Amino acid sequence: MSAVSSWLPLPANTGFGPDALPYGVVGSRVVVPLGDQLLDLATALARVDGTLARLVDRPTLDPLLAAGRPTWDAVRTTLRRMLTVDTPEHRRAVEAALRDPGPSPQLPFTVADYADFYSSQQHATNVGRIFRPDAPALPPAWKHVPIGYHGRSGTVVVSGTPVRRPRGVLGPGRYGPSERLDVEAEVGFVVGTPSRLGEPVPAADWREHVFGVVLLNDWSARDIQSFESRPLGPFLGKSFLTSVSPWVVPLAALEPAFVDPPAQDPRPLDHLQPAGPALDLTLEVRLNGQLISRPPAAALYWTPAQQLAHLTGNGASLRTGDLYASGTVSGDAPDQLGCLLELTRGGQDPLRLRDGTARAYLSDGDTIDITATAPGPSGTLIGLGAVSGMVMPAE
């Protein structure tokens, strides 16, 4: 696949060129980031395709998500043509729609149901060793199904929303602010096309249902989580907040990042095949601006196709706006671990920061930024933006 170039001047090495074209909502308008600017999508499309323009002339991506893959492809193809084929009509349409960045991005779609998986073998093994040192590191079902839990969609927020340190039961007779607030660097998948109740979605059909990808921080209170989760959970240890990046990157933009997933042994059950691709995203986690980890999503054992097939394998239906996440992304190397629980080995080995302080878990005032890029065509980069949040003291 070769990179396309735009007649529109864009900064060198921008992750938001004509091969990226993610979607978000800013100022109650559906926008596409282009270099350092935003394109008002309905305004741009209005001059070339009124039907597509009306679909995005809303303060949310919801109608676009519900419209299905042929329409997703039509919007993307039309927009790419406008940006790459230099005609007076295209110039007029695009230039009339360009905006300066303006206010902060909003949550771009209505989150329906939210589920979070546990698909990194490295993460599951590390956490098992820390939480259950006397048991086998991987739970017995781990290599047979993509393990997950259903989360709380109403507390999914957009990047930039502060995280209030949660209170909870930290142990017998102890209710108070969490002392072990952590992050989980994850990849989230946004469902567009719904499915029928009682009809599992075949793994091969995942791209008919999944619209695109966000970055996700599954904030986790390890003390609340470890006390409540024997045996059910996670419950309140994670439901207080989940943050997502503002740009939903369509799967079509990530095709150059499709790679073979790790070998799976034992052979997955038939309904979890074909596995489909893993995504070659390199995440970066920063604590107060300091890079602390580079988790590789390509290393995830279970794929997004298998997660979706499993999620619906009992006949549970999908709704437009469903969000499911990979689980913490961790690689083999010490600088590829996607949460502080692993990076500090359960708090025993605190991170040394450049300002001379140390962290076992997050302090009030700390900021976490998770960013990622994907390989685009011909050595270009596809930007996924960032999911950020600052820790506020407990109420």
Binding segment for Mn ion (CB under 5 A), chosen from 29-37, 113-121, 191-199, 344-352, is 113-121
Binding segment for Mn ion (CB under 5 A), chosen from 78-86, 114-122, 296-304, 341-349, is 114-122
For residue 388, list its beta bridge partners: 369
Is 366 a binding residue for Mn ion by CB under 5 A? The answer is no
To Mn ion, the closest distance from the beta carbon of 337 in angstroms equals: 13
To Mn ion, the closest distance from the beta carbon of 26 in angstroms equals: 27
Q: Which is nearer to Mn ion, 152 or 271 (CB)?
A: 152
Instruction: Quote the tokens at residue 32.
Output: 């596409």
Q: Does 231 sit behind a cis peptide bond, omega within 30 degrees of 0 on the bond before it?
A: yes
* Spatial distance between the Cα atoms of 45 and 77, rounded to a whole number of angstroms: 11
Q: Which residue is nearest to Mn ion (CB)?
A: 218
DSSP β-ladder status, 185-191 and 167-171: unpaired
Q: Which is nearer to Mn ion, 141 or 263 (CB)?
A: 141
CA 372 to chain centre: 10
Instruction: Quote the tokens at residue 138.
Output: 């991987």
| Angle ∠(237,238,239) on CA atoms, nearest 5 | 110
Binding segment for Mn ion (CB under 5 A), chosen from 153-161, 213-221, 361-369, 379-387, is 213-221
To Mn ion, the closest distance from the beta carbon of 295 in angstroms equals: 12
* Spatial distance between the Cα atoms of 10 and 126, rounded to a whole number of angstroms: 43
Number of residues that bind Mn ion (CB under 5 A): 3
Q: Which is nearer to Mn ion, 193 or 371 (CB)?
A: 371
DSSP symbols for 248-289: BEEGGGGGGGEEPPPP-SSPPPGGG-S---EE--EEEEEETT
Residue 221: enclosing H or E segment and its boundaries? Answer: strand 220-221
Q: Which is nearer to Mn ion, 90 or 180 (CB)?
A: 180
**Which amino acid makes up residue 273?**
Q
Residue from 19, 40, 113, 116 touching Mn ion (CB under 5 A): that is 116
Q: Which is nearer to Mn ion, 257 or 329 (CB)?
A: 329
To Mn ion, the closest distance from the beta carbon of 186 in angstroms equals: 6
To Mn ion, the closest distance from the beta carbon of 93 in angstroms equals: 42
Is 218 a binding residue for Mn ion by CB under 5 A? The answer is yes
Q: Which of 123, 144, 209, 271 is catalytic?
A: 123
Of 324, 300, 113, 114, which is closest to residue 213 (Cα–Cα)?
324
Q: Which is nearer to Mn ion, 91 or 132 (CB)?
A: 132
Q: Which of residues 33-62 bind Mn ion (CB under 5 A)?
A: none
Task: Please say if 144 is a catalytic residue.
Answer: no
To Mn ion, the closest distance from the beta carbon of 131 in angstroms equals: 14
How many helices and strands in the chain, by DSSP H and E? 10, 26
To Mn ion, the closest distance from the beta carbon of 149 in angstroms equals: 8
Residues 6+ apart with CB under 8 A from 136: 128
Residue with tokens 């997933």: 261
To Mn ion, the closest distance from the beta carbon of 191 in angstroms equals: 18
Instruction: Quote the tokens at residue 343.
Output: 């990076």
Q: Which of residues 250-269 bind Mn ion (CB under 5 A)?
A: none
Is 113 a binding residue for Mn ion by CB under 5 A? The answer is no
Of 19, 50, 47, which is closest to residue 32 (Cα–Cα)?
19
Q: Which is nearer to Mn ion, 234 or 268 (CB)?
A: 234
Binding segment for Mn ion (CB under 5 A), chosen from 95-103, 167-175, 197-205, 215-223, is 215-223
Q: What DSSP state is assigned to residue 74?
A: H
Question: Could you tell me if 90 and 306 are in contact, meaning their C-beta atoms sit under 8 angstroms apart?
Answer: no
Is 342 a binding residue for Mn ion by CB under 5 A? The answer is no
Q: Which is nearer to Mn ion, 161 or 243 (CB)?
A: 243
Binding segment for Mn ion (CB under 5 A), chosen from 141-149, 176-184, 267-275, 345-353, is 176-184
Is 184 a binding residue for Mn ion by CB under 5 A? The answer is yes
- Give first-to-last CA distance, the chain, whole Å: 52
* Spatial distance between the Cα atoms of 302 and 120, rounded to a whole number of angstroms: 7
Positions marked active-site: 123
Interface ranges with Mn ion (CB under 5 A): 116, 184, 218
